[in-house]
Chains A and B, each alone.
Chain A
Amino acid sequence: MVKYIGFRLFQALLGLWFIATLVFILSRSIGDPAEVFTARNSGVDAREIMAAKLGLDRPLHEQYLKFIGQLVRLDLGESVSNGIPVTQILVERMPATFTLGLIALLFALVFSLPLGVLGAVYRDTPVDWLAKVMAFLGQSMPPFWLGIMLIILFAVVWGLLPPAGKGEWHSYVLPGFTLGWGVMAGMVRLVRSSMLDVLDSDYVAMARAKGLPEVVVIGKHALRNALLPVLTYSSLVLGAFMNGSVVVEQVFAWPGIGTSAVQSVVRRDFPVIQGVVIVFGSFFILINLLVDIMYAVIDPRIKYTQ
Chain B
Amino acid sequence: MLRESKEDDILLRVEGLKTYFFQRTAVLKAVDGVSFSVAQGEAVGLVGESGSGKTMTCLSLMRLVPQPGARIVEGEIWFKGDNLLEMTEQEMRAYRGHRMAIVMQDPQTSLNPVYTVGEQVAEPVRLHLKERGQQAMARVLDSLRAVRIPRPELRLGQYPHQFSGGMRQRVVAAMGLTTQPELLIADEPTTSLDVTIQAQFLRLIRELQQDSGTSVIWVTHDLGIVAQMCDRVNVMYAGRIVESGRVRQIYKEPQHPYTRALLDSVPLMGARREKLYQIEGQPPDLRSIPEGCPFWPRCPEAMDKCKEQYPPRTSLGSEDFVHCWLTEEGR
Number of residue pairs spanning A and B whose beta carbons lie under 8 angstroms apart: 72
Q: Tell me if A299 and B113 are in contact (CB < 8 A).
A: yes
Known A209-B101, A211-B127: A203·B109 in contact at CB below 8 Å = yes
Q: B residues within 8 A CB of A207?
A: 112, 123
Name A202's contact: one of B106, B159, B175 (CB within 8 Å).
Answer: B106
Contacting B94 at CB < 8 Å: which of A124, A211, A298?
A211
Query: A209 contacts which chain B residues (CB < 8 A)?
Result: 62, 64, 96-97, 101-102
Interface size bracket, A side:
20 to 34
| A212 CA to B101 CA, complexed, in Å | 12
Residue pair B68, A123 in contact (C-beta under 8 Å): yes
Pairwise interchain contact B111-A203, C-beta atoms closer than 8 A:
yes
Set of chain B residues within 8 Å of A152, measured between Cβ atoms: none
The reply to whether the CB of B56 lies closer than 8 angstroms to some CB of chain A is: no
The listed residue with most B CB atoms (<10 A of its CB), out of A209, A213, A298, A304, is A209
Whether B64 pairs with A205 at a CB distance below 8 angstroms is yes
In the complex, whether A61 has a CB less than 8 A from a CB of chain B is no
A133 to B102, CA, bound (A): 40
Contact: A206 with B68, CB < 8 Å?
no
Name the interface residues of A200-242: CB closer than 8 Å to any CB of B: 201-203, 205-213, 221, 224-225
Q: B114 touches which one: A123, A124, A298, A304 (CB < 8 A)?
A: A298
**Chain A residues with CB under 8 A of B114:** 224-225, 298-300
Q: How far is the CA of A300 from the CA of B110 in the complex (A)?
A: 16
Is A210's CB under 8 angstroms from B112's CB? no
Q: For residue B175, which residues in chain A have a CB less than 8 angstroms away from its CB? A: 206, 210
Chain A's closest residue to B162 (CB) is A304
Question: Which of B96, B104, B110, B172 has the most chain A CB atoms closer than 10 A to its own CB?
Answer: B110
Whether, in the assembled complex, B128 has its beta carbon less than 8 Å from a beta carbon of chain A, the answer is: yes
A73 part of interface (Cβ distance < 8 Å): no
Name which of B95, B104, B114 has the most chain A CB atoms within 10 A of its CB.
B114
- Distance in angstroms from A199 CB to nearest chain B CB is 9
Are A211 and B93 neighbours in the complex by a CB distance under 8 Å? Answer: yes
Chain B residue numbers with a CB within 8 Å of A202 are 104, 106, 109-110
Please give, as numbers and ranges, the residues of chain B lying within 8 Å of A40 by CB-CB distance. none
Q: Is the CB of A210 within 8 A of B127?
A: yes
- For A225, list chain B residues within 8 Å (CB): 112-114
CB closest residue in chain A, given B93: A211
Q: Across the A-B interface, give the 5 residue pairs with the lowest CB-CB distance, nearest first.
A: A210-B97, A211-B96, A211-B97, A202-B109, A203-B112
Between-chain CB contacts (< 8 Å), 25 pairs: A202-B106, A202-B109, A203-B110, A205-B110, A206-B110, A206-B172, A206-B175, A207-B123, A209-B102, A210-B96, A210-B97, A210-B123, A211-B93, A211-B95, A211-B97, A212-B127, A213-B93, A224-B114, A225-B113, A225-B114, A300-B114, A300-B116, A300-B161, A304-B161, A304-B162
Using a CB–CB cutoff of 8 Å, the interface residues on chain B facing chain A are 62, 64, 68, 93-98, 101-102, 104, 106, 109-116, 123-124, 127-128, 159, 161-162, 172, 175
